[in-house]
Structures are given as structure tokens and as C-alpha cells.
Structure 1
Amino acid sequence: MDDILFRRTVEELTESDEHLAALVEAHGTPTLWLRPAGFPSLVLFILEQQVSLASAAAAYARVLDRVGSMTPAAILAATPEELRTDGVSRQKDRYLRALATAVLTQRLDLDGLAELDDDGVRRELTSLPGIGRWTADVYLLACLGRPDLWPVGDRALQVATAEALGLDGVPTQAELEDLGERWRPHRSTAARLLWHGYLDRRGRVETPVTVLG
């Protein structure tokens, strides 16, 4: 996914889908939101689990300020007590240490993920504690730029889809999976448009890439 392909798929989707067209009319076309592939982005995605983007970004910034550079070795060198002070829960501390250890021991080849298909990336990432389908899917979408990702476990996407389609209730993951079929094979772009509308209606923005340091 690059800017040219993103603009092209936005045009294609909005020409064929009145709901996405209305979103773009109301909120504009977002910039292509991507994060660099690698360890820092995975750390931030883990911190974003089940909390607000703002809370996760603040915790990440405190950890980064403490360790100086967001690397596996730096995370392992910090004590659990220090990371707890920075806003990292015991559970997420365990997840971050498992990720850092996997990268350092080369159990997880982060650079090699780009060579795998979507399911292969999911298998590699979800083999680690604390990395489930949601984290793997948003890494595929935002860091590897895959064009047809649809993270059904994302609460904001569930709510955004309900709002955009005028549904009576928020869809379950299974229902969201079915709803997303209308936008295949450009579900990553559809998700970006839905997220943008969701955040804009609430006066929020995506976490800037500069947070990663």
C-alpha cells in the first residue's frame, strides 16, 4: 500500500459504496496512516490493547524516555517496577519481555515477516504470548501495508461500521466479518475510512508516528 494505491482504492470504494462516500464527504480522505515495521511498533500495539490510543501513547513515551531507545535489550534491562511506574501493567510487561526475548533469540524474525503471506505473519506473531489476532492484523495493515485486512476484533472498527451503515447495534466479530465482505479486496482502505470518521466525530486523531521515537 502506498499513497497512489490508497487514493485509487478510495476512489473505487466511494464510487461503489454510498456509505463510504458519505464518510469521505463528511470527514474528508485521511492521509495514508502507516507505522514503520519492527519492534517499536509492536510494543505500541501491545500497549494499545484495551486502552485508549492516548493512554497507550503516553505510556510508550514514558517507557521510551526511561530506556532511551526502544529496543529488545533496553526493554529487558528495565525492571518490572520501573515499567509499572511508566504505566505498563504486569500482564503487558510479561508480553513485552516475551516479545523482546523472541526477537533477541531470533525465534521471531521481524524483518522476515514481510516475505510471508498474511496467514504466515499471523502464525508467527500469535505464537507469542499477548499477541492475538487483533495485534497481528493491525501490524499487517499498518506496518506491512497489506491491502485487504479487516481487524474484526477492533472495537472502534465495530462501532464505526455500525455508525456508517446505520445499524441498530454494534456488530459482533462474526457479523463484522460478514459486513466487511462488501469491501473486499480493499478492506484495509475501508477500515481506514471508517476509523477516520470514528475519530473525527470524537475530535481525536491517530497516534502520530513521531511517538515511536
Structure 2
Amino acid sequence: MHKERLKSREVLDVHLKGLAQCDPRLEPVIAQCEEVPLRESADGFEGMAKIVVGQQVSVAAASAIWGRFAGLMDNVCAAEFLAHPEESVRGAGLSASKFRTLCGVAEAEQSGALQFDQLVHLPPDEAIDQLTQLKGIGPWTAEIYLLFCLGHPDIFPAGDLALQKMVGHINGLEDVPKEKETRALTEIWSPYRGAASRLMWRYFAVLKDKEGIVL
């Protein structure tokens, strides 16, 4: 199994080649998509905060909110976040629920209940389980963190609607597969599901002629 973390263009290209060998149906998809974005993100509290900020808002809104949020702090970290009163953080554009989620994440890190630097060493199921113990952090958020912030090579966020649509399209399904079916259909892409998820988002963007999600 290829264990290189998806933290460079070179590693992603190697994994895309491996993916095409796993499933030759993807060869023309890779060719059509041309360059597949790496979308590497910071890890730790900053990376998680950026994911939470961007949930359920447009790309433009997420970028604007993140700019204001990050601008409140010299360094986006748990300690600085907790030092700011709710009104100033909410004033950056965060909803009450997102503020509460980030408070929980920051407090868990400060107490030692959550150790971001240890997540990279855990099996993905254990890392996801740790993250989803925090209120407001669901499986999609945890998987996105592992995928983009840690560069895990074999994560496929099967609860993502765009990914579900593309998996259905690749498999010629009339109906969009649900999360459980999507996971089953993508097992063939292991151990390259991290590259596969990036490819499917890019494919979605190409087919819909838009950017897709941005983290």
C-alpha cells in the first residue's frame, strides 16, 4: 500500500496513475480533468477552523468570512480564538452553531482531550472517531480534515453530494447513490481514495463548468 501523504503534486500524480491501474474506467476521466488540484491545507486548529467556517456557504462567502476571522488573530490557534469574545468572532460572520463548534474544538485541544499532532499517527477510523466525539464535528468534517489537512492517502468522504453524484455517473446509475453505497462502490479505488476524491471533485467541476468546493 502506498502510504505517502498527499502533500505534494508529485505524490498526487503517482497516486492518480495507481488509481487508473486500479480502475481503467478512470483513465479518460483523468485525461479530461487535466491537472487535479492538490488542495493542501494547514493542519491543527487552523485547518479545522477553516473547514468549519466554509461549511454550507458559498465559496465566495467562505473566503470572505475566513479573511475576517483570521484577521482577528495574529496566529489562528485555539488559545487566540478563546481569547476573543463571542461578539467579535460572530461579527466576522460565523453562525452561533459554528462558534460553539470551534469553542468545543479549541477547549478540547487546550485541555489535551484532542491532540491534533497525534491524529496523523492513528488509523483513520480512530482519528475520525476522536474528532466526531466533539459536538458539531460529523464524519464529513472529520474526513475532510484527514484528507486535506493531513493528506491521508486513502480517505473518500462518501457523504459528500458532489462525490456521490460523480460515483453514480462513473457507475452509470440512474439514482445518486447514498453514503453507504458510495463507500462500497469506491472500495475498488483503495489505497488511492484520497486521489480519487480529488479527481471526482475536479470531474464534477469540469462537467458542471464551475469550481466545485474550495476549502
- Normalising TM by the smaller chain, what interval? 0.7 to 0.9
Amino acid at match of 2:47: S
Residue 92 of structure 1, CA deviation:
0.6
Q: Distance in 2 between matches of 1:67 and 1:90?
A: 19
Q: Hey, what does 1:72 align to over in structure 2?
A: 78
Q: Hey, what does 2:123 align to over in structure 1?
A: 117
- Which among 102, 108, 133 is matched to residue 108 of structure 2? 102
Q: Hey, what does 2:147 align to over in structure 1?
A: 141
Tell me if structure 1 keeps the 8 A contact 2:37–2:202.
no
Q: Distance in 1 between matches of 2:59 and 2:91?
A: 19
- Which among 191, 210, 213 is matched to residue 203 of structure 1? 210
Tell me if structure 2 keeps the 8 A contact 1:20–1:193.
no
SS of residue in 1 equivalent to 2:26:
helix
Q: Hey, what does 1:38 align to over in structure 2?
A: 44
Residue 205 of structure 1, CA deviation:
6.1
Q: Which moved more, 1:197-206 or 1:76-85?
A: 197-206
Residue 199 of structure 1, CA deviation:
2.5
Structure 1 residues 202 and 68: CA distance shift in structure 2, 3 A = farther
Q: Which moved more, 1:73-82 or 1:120-129?
A: 73-82
Residue 206 of structure 1, CA deviation:
5.7
What TM-score comes out, normalization by structure 1 length? 0.87
What do residues 122-143 of structure 1 show as CA deviations (whole Å, max 9, x unaligned)? 1221111111111111111112
Q: Distance in 2 between matches of 1:89 and 1:146?
A: 29
Aligned positions of 1:55-70 closer than 5 A: 55-70=61-76
Q: Distance in 1 between matches of 2:158 and 2:37?
A: 22
Any gaps of 5 or more consecutive residues in structure 2?
A: none
Q: Hey, what does 1:211 align to over in structure 2?
A: none
1:154 aligns to 2:190 (yes or no) = no
What TM-score comes out, normalization by structure 2 length? 0.86
Residue 172 of structure 1, CA deviation:
0.7
Residue 38 of structure 1, CA deviation:
1.1
Tell me if structure 2 keeps the 8 A contact 1:164–1:194.
no
1:23 aligns to 2:29 (yes or no) = yes
Tell me if structure 1 keeps the 8 A contact 2:201–2:212.
no
SS of residue in 2 equivalent to 1:147:
coil
Q: Distance in 1 between matches of 2:166 and 2:53?
A: 22
Amino acid at match of 1:204: E
Q: Hey, what does 1:53 align to over in structure 2?
A: 59
SS of residue in 2 equivalent to 1:115:
coil
Structure 1 residues 61 and 163: CA distance shift in structure 2, 3 A = farther
Q: Distance in 2 between matches of 1:41 and 1:10?
A: 24
Amino acid at match of 2:182: L
Q: Distance in 2 between matches of 1:167 and 1:143?
A: 32
Tell me if structure 1 keeps the 8 A contact 2:37–2:198.
no
Tell me if structure 2 keeps the 8 A contact 1:44–1:60.
yes
SS of residue in 1 equivalent to 2:90:
helix
Q: Indicate the percent of aligned positions where both proteins have the same amino acid.
A: 33
Q: RMSD of aligned C-alpha atoms?
A: 2.1
Q: Which moved more, 1:175-184 or 1:79-88?
A: 79-88
Residue 15 of structure 1, CA deviation:
4.1
